[in-house]
Chain A
Amino acid sequence: MMSDITKQSLSELVENIKSKKLSSSEVTKAFVERSEKSKELNTYITEDYANALNKAKKFDEKPNLDLKLPGIPMAVKDLFCTKDLRTTAGSKILNNFVPTYESTVTQNIWNEGAILMGKLNCDEFAMGSSNETSFFGNVQNPIDKNLVPGGSSGGSSSAVAAQLTPITIGTDTGGSIRQPASFTGTVGLKPTYGSCSRYGIVAFASSLDQAGPMAQNVKDCALLQEVISTYDEKDSTSIDFKRNEYSKELTKDIKGKKIGIPKEYRVDGMPKEIEDLWKKGIEYAKDCGAEIIDISLPHTNYALPTYYIVAPAEASSNLARYDGVKYGFRAEGENLIDMYEKTRSEGFGAEVQRRIMIGTYVLSSGYYDAYYLKAQKVRKLIKNDFDDAYKKVDAILTPSTPSSAFKIGEKTNDPVSMYLNDIFTVPVNLAGLPGISIPAGHDAKGYPLGLQIIGKAFDEQNILNIAYAMEEKINFKNNIIDWWIK
């Protein structure tokens, strides 16, 4: 049965293709058909189904079953440059951009036998927490109608939760993998800064951006992390460290692991159901044999204001390249400057313009020390907090988000309330650490809620293990009823 194929996890599909119970064509056809029936979710910006089916056929003619992702179809966030296939970053300004090169992360995926199905919707230049800033429109969360899927990797979270792709990749600058994973009942890993190459990823804030896997379960997530995390000389901040075979070394034995609970994450006005979820998480961790230790991360409250200086500053610099000259959208102007100004005014959406303006302001003459330099100093204090905490603990457990998914349009008029979504995820990016969100329960409305496990730098294996052990105890089930399929 075709419908049964899309219900399988990545690990099951890999197993079934390796044992020749399923062909790549059967699997690819099933996900393409389900994707075609799911247009209402608006997860795809660009579909590449015909090519995908052709590649699957070719794979089946000469299958290499030693690969880690043999003939597995996969759609990816439209922030990764894919050679010869349009890459938009969710923006009008890149609406017609066709890269001449492939991002290292996606190249690693195709090298292991996976097949590209298409490019997934996201907030414009990954700036957003609800996928509502995309030039290509809102994405629906398969959990409920008119519910946001989170952002910026909203097309990715929606596509994995709705089983339109067995697994996918997103990018995370301040929570853009973990928050949408939390909103859709899926698993999302933001790796250590320097773990996955940034080469070929449309840049947002270069000192914070990281690519990572988004999956239905922890084991699948570990497998994809193993594929995408490589040292890359094309990214000057890629770090050459010994990478584990994360899926092979995955274990549920976390006895004696010390897990820290930071008291500063108990923020004012935190809904009771989040507080309860966190308490439940602590019990699950204890059940797995972990030791719970209270810790303090005293500068937590300063993380968001720091982020909203550092990220826009880097973005304003990175996005200076979109000038309508060599590629992308151009608006005609009376002279060169007029052309630049009109191109950027018509080509960027409101949120991106807002952030470019903030970034330009904090970097401008007379304000640099007061804002940008100040933020870099506070960033140091935030990193020091984590360094101190990790003298006592192996990992840290927090909620992933301060609420469950909200309705489309609910927060679009108030940028600050939208920014508060990332309160638990942003400190992790500022400190360059790995963090994983796993689904851990439901709120009163039946919407999923996630828990975040934060690790030491380069300690992805440890947080994957903790997540793997807790996942079994939590035994979370997503109740998705395919409401969008007529």
Chain B
Amino acid sequence: MSIDLKTIKHISKLSRISVDEKKAEKLAGDLNSIFDFIEKLNELKTDNVEPLTSVAETTLKLRSDEVKSKNLRDQVIKNSPKENEDYFVVPKVIE
């Protein structure tokens, strides 16, 4: 299998990571060598194997729906890269 530059551009779009030509070429090389290594799994027949989604064999516990954390609005907003007192600020979305 070979991952071409077009596929890299597609994955980068899905990943929301911009890549220029140079980076795309480097990534294609790296990903191809990694997938060559991953292809080894195809040696195994797994038709009748149940997939393992979690090693923790527990069911999710229910809890009462109570607010436990304090109001940390100011501290939370402080971590924002661009703040406007009460809101997170992003580039204009609606024209």
Residues of A bordering B, CB below 8 Å: 96-98, 100-101, 193-194, 207, 233, 236-237, 239, 299, 301-302, 304-306, 308-309, 316, 320, 323-330, 332-342, 344-345, 348, 353-354, 356-358, 360-361, 364, 371, 373-381, 383, 414-416, 419, 430-432, 457
Contact = CB atoms under 8 A, between A and B. Distances in A.
A199 B92 CA distance: 34
Interface of A is mostly: helix
B44 A378 contact: yes
Contacts of B2: none
Sorted from nearest, which 6 A-B pairs have the closest CB atoms?
A432-B55, A376-B51, A330-B81, A327-B79, A341-B18, A377-B46
Interface string B24-47: 000100110110011111111010
Nearest to A340: B16
A374 B51 CA distance: 8
A304 B60 CA distance: 29
A194 B56 contact: yes
B84 to A, nearest CB: 13
Contacts of B38: 305, 308-309, 371
Given A336-B93, A357-B12, A431-B55, A345 B19 contact: yes
A380 B90 contact: no
Nearest to A193: B55
A339 B91 contact: yes
B50 interface: yes
A239 B80 contact: no
B17 A236 contact: no
Contacts of B18: 338, 341-342, 344-345
Interface of B is mostly: loop
Contact of B17 (A325, A341, A432): A341
Nearest to A373: B51
Given A97-B79, A320-B16, 18 more contacts: A236-B60, A236-B61, A239-B56, A299-B44, A302-B40, A305-B41, A309-B38, A324-B81, A326-B76, A326-B79, A327-B79, A330-B81, A342-B18, A344-B17, A354-B31, A383-B52, A419-B34, A432-B55
Nearest to B48: A377
B44 to A, nearest CB: 6
Contacts of B81: 324-325, 327-330
Nearest to B76: A100
B51 A383 contact: no
A360 B7 CA distance: 11
A170 B38 CA distance: 28
A429 to B, nearest CB: 9
Contact of B51 (A299, A332, A380): A380
A304 B33 CA distance: 14
A333 B69 CA distance: 34
A297 to B, nearest CB: 14
Contacts of A344: 15-18
Nearest to B50: A380
Residue among B11, B69, B72, B76 facing the most chain A CB atoms (10 A cut-off):
B11
Given A98-B79, A207-B55, A348 B16 contact: no
Nearest to A420: B37
Contacts of B91: 332-336, 338-339
B6 interface: no
Contact of B54 (A207, A328, A345, A415): A207
Given A98-B78, A381-B44, A339 B90 contact: yes
A152 to B, nearest CB: 18
A309 B49 CA distance: 17
Contact of B16 (A193, A236, A337): A337
B10 to A, nearest CB: 8
A379 B92 CA distance: 45
A115 B72 CA distance: 25
Contacts of B79: 96-98, 100, 326-328
Contacts of B49: 377-378, 380-381
Given A305-B41, A377-B46, A378-B44, A360 B34 contact: no
